[in-house]
Amino acid sequence: MKLIKNLGRIIMGVMCAGVVLTTANSCEYDDTYIRDSIKDLDERVEALEAFSEQIQSEISALQEIIEKLQSEVTIDNIVETEDGYTINFSDGTSITITDGEDGKDGQDGEDGKDGMTPPTIIVIEEDGTYYWGYENSDGSRDFITDDDGNKIPVTGEAPQIRINPDNGNWEISTDGGQTWEDTGMPSSGTGTGESLFAGIDQDEDFVYLTLRDGTTICIPKTKELVFDFGTDGETLYFERGESKVLDYTMSGVQEVTITKPDGWRASIEAEGFVITAPVEENTFAETEGIVTVLLVASNGQSLIAKQPVIIGVAPQKDYFTIEVPEDEIGSTSARIISSCNEPTMYWTSQIMTLDEFETYVGSVENMEYYFMELLESTAYYYGYSSVAELLPDFLYPGDYVDDYVYSGLYSETAYMTYAVGMDFDGNYLTDFYYGPQFTTTEPQMIDLTFDLNVTPKTTSALLDIYPSDPSAYYFATVIDNSFYEAGYTDVDIMTEIINSYSWMLFYYALQGDVTGYEIGGMASNTDYYAVVFGVDVDAITYTTEMTKVPFTTLESQPTDAYVEGSITNWWSIDDLAEYNPDYASLMGDPSNPNLAAVDLEFNESAVACIYVLWIGDLSTYDYDELYAATQQQGDIAYYGDPANLFYVALDNSYNTLCTIALDADGNYGEMDICLVQFTEEGKSTDFALFDEYYNAIMGGYSMTTSSVNSRPVFMAPSNIENVQIREALSAKEVKVMSHKVVKAVNMK
């Protein structure tokens, strides 16, 4: 063996403390000192021998660790012990290393020498191979070589150390103990010495073993054996010759074996796990099968991952889930819970009766056309200009759960549920999904009857209602004959009425005796029915049969009632906001940033009027058609009530104000027509006058009962082209409108 000269000086020194034997001459011989010295010497020898064995064991452990590292054996875990660590490897073996302590000085009295520190054996990595070496006292490093000067790999013969029994110096052997070379380093001392290992650390992926010279050996931890094709276990469908690249996940693997159906290709490439179906010309290839990946870890653990593959078209995915809780199906209501399994897709869920499906759809092939018609009628009903404008408010986002209680359903009627995905342009994204069917129950009727008296007027009627149970809720209104002409039953009519009010039924339900209950908005000399029936405002359903009394409104009589309408004052909202900052909130439509006030002048016979501000010059419009449109579209104002304010644009265009008077008997008078041109020059700056109009409107209206719908106090002019003269609704029109316009995300 060949070592660098002065090895004893350049590696870490060994503590030594001379053993001094003194003799004393005296008349009386006392051997206590000699016996103590011999005992101390024996203890030192035993300690040196034990420490020598420890160092040799650590060299062997270091050699084994390097061998496992180069064999790609990984570390399963590390267990801390009282004096070190136990490292458990993936091949089932383990190694224990000991924390060393610094050599300790000798006893006080004389300067002690360093303890039993042996030669500093190290490992040096070169080109991926670890070799044995040692560290000099100046920190430089050299390889330990054999007799021929060759570096000794760690995986070869490990150096051995011992204490020379003759001179007490440390010796090193590189040939398995056949020859020894003196290091010149004395081994005397009483310390416990230093371990070859200085410390151990770890993170999520590696264990870092630090040697006494500062060298760090990095050993990978054992990873969980994992392989995932990234397809959630779903079968993959291919066209002939098609390739799919899968975003797979793999870890903890030492060996990988891939099998596939005949004619298919499967391999792990840089871009991912690639599967290619056989081409059309390969008639012997299998059309379906399993791509299998067999994985083996370094510790022998194995895992099999399978991916089904088929040449063909994938079946339709169920994008939706619909649930109908049986215990929440009532006679006229049902709870439907729907959800979408595609979080990025917009969708809707709906219901319809099986009878409606058979009558108006016929087959699933016609469902797309039918549903688009339904959307068009819904858009028109809610005032949207198109289906495209409706859909952002109508469709649900993919992560929305539609938990909805349908009300106003027909009792003892079979319903079907369905859902479909759409985009905001009205394109279907999925096929229609059909969920469970359900049948509403028989209604729970109560013992409640009514006495109903009707006093007809020209355009209204007074109802006197006397229920048999004053505490029961009921609903009363007037319907025209078109329902019966369309084939509706009393149950159909009650259901349609309840459906139109839905959860607001509570606010319109009556209790106890009610007299003089006026329902207006009727045509003169026309047949109607006054109807009343019991209701359950919580279940939103009817509870009795419908009591109905037919009547005919009085024939309209000529009247001199007349109301003249005019608009002479309008203001810029921006100017109003400068005058009073609170008025800035009145800006509703930036395209019409002005407010115009309507003045109504009643003659002695007029008690009310209906008025409309039409867009455009309608002075040459057919009088009868304009009269009928004003009756239907107009707002009602009673004598003493303020008229609405209108949003207008100062674009010099004409508008037409139409006003029809009513006398005390409900007779309609002649229609007043007034042309108005809104100009910038005519804009008013009399802001105190606007205060008067505004305060009068916000102060409220008279409480006279009327069927004319309550409108906002700030309105825009109406377009007569959008007005349809009231006609009897057919069964299809009513039912299509009633079932799905009431359920949407954010209808305006």
In the chain the domains, ranked by start, together with CATH numbers, are 7-218 (no CATH), 226-311 (2.60.40.10), 320-442 (2.60.40.10), 450-552 (2.60.40.10), 563-717 (2.60.40.10)
pLDDT of residue 45: 57
With a CB cutoff of 8 Å and minimum separation 6, the contacts of 35 are none
Q: What does each C-alpha distance from 357 to 211, 351, 394, 400, 440 come to in angstroms? A: 82, 10, 22, 26, 17
> Beta-carbon neighbour count of residue 312 at 10 Å?
11
Contact residues for 204 (Cβ-Cβ < 8 A; gap 6+): 221
* Structure confidence at residue 109 (pLDDT): 39
Return the pLDDT at 31.
60
Distance CA 187, CA 21 (A): 18
Task: Give the C-alpha distances (Å, rounded to integers) separating 335 from 323, 350, 503, 539.
Answer: 9, 12, 14, 11
Query: 471: number of CA atoms within 13 Å, CB side?
Result: 2
- pLDDT score of 47: 60
Rounded CA-CA distance 234/228 in Å is 12
- Which long-range contacts (C-beta less than 8 Å, at least 24 apart) are formed by 178-185? 179/1, 181/1, 181/3, 183/3, 183/7, 183/8, 183/11, 183/119, 184/6, 184/7, 184/8, 184/9, 185/7, 185/8, 185/11, 185/13, 185/14, 185/118, 185/119
Cα 600 from Cα 682, distance rounded (Å): 20
* Contact yes or no for 295/255 (Cβ under 8 A): yes
Burial class (CB in 10 A: 0-12, 13-18, 19+), 620: exposed
CA distance 215 to 267: 40
Tokens of 499: 């459906």
Pairing relationship of beta strands 302-311 and 236-238 according to DSSP bridges: parallel
Q: Which residues of 725-744 are buried (b: 16+ CB within 10 A; e: fewer)?
A: eeeebebeebbbbbbbbbbb
User: One-letter amino acid identity for 225?
Assistant: L
In this prediction, residue 28 carries a pLDDT of 53
Q: What pLDDT is recorded for position 747? A: 37
Angle between the 367-381 and 731-740 helix axes, to the nearest 10 degrees?
80
Structural contact between residues 231 and 260, judged by C-beta atoms closer than 8 angstroms:
no
**Residue 493 · residue 546 · CB < 8 Å:** yes
313 C-beta neighbours (distance < 10 Å), count: 8
Locate the DSSP E strands across 260-319. Answer: 265-269, 272-276, 288-296, 302-311
Query: In which residue ranges of the chain is pLDDT below 70?
Result: 1-52, 99-119, 136-138, 183-194, 299, 316, 699-713, 722-748
Output the pLDDT for position 745: 36
pLDDT recorded at residue 116? 52
DSSP collapsed to 3 states, 104-122: CCCCCCCCCCCCCCCCCEE
pTM of the entire predicted model: 0.40
Angle at 479 (CA atoms; ends 474, 483), nearest 5 degrees = 115
* pLDDT of 683: 94
Distance CA 77, CA 323 (A): 49
- At residue 204, the pLDDT reads 78
Place of tokens 């993959």: 236
Measure the CA–CA gap between 385 and 516, rounded to whole angstroms.
Answer: 40
Burial class (CB in 10 A: 0-12, 13-18, 19+), 643: buried
Q: Are 508 and 501 in contact (CB under 8 A)?
A: yes
How many angstroms separate the CA atoms of 285 and 277, rounded? 9
Amino acid letter, residue 71: S
CA distance 495 to 62: 88
In angstroms, the Cα distances linking 714 to 68, 644, 711 are 86, 6, 8
**CB count, 10 Å around CB of 68?**
20
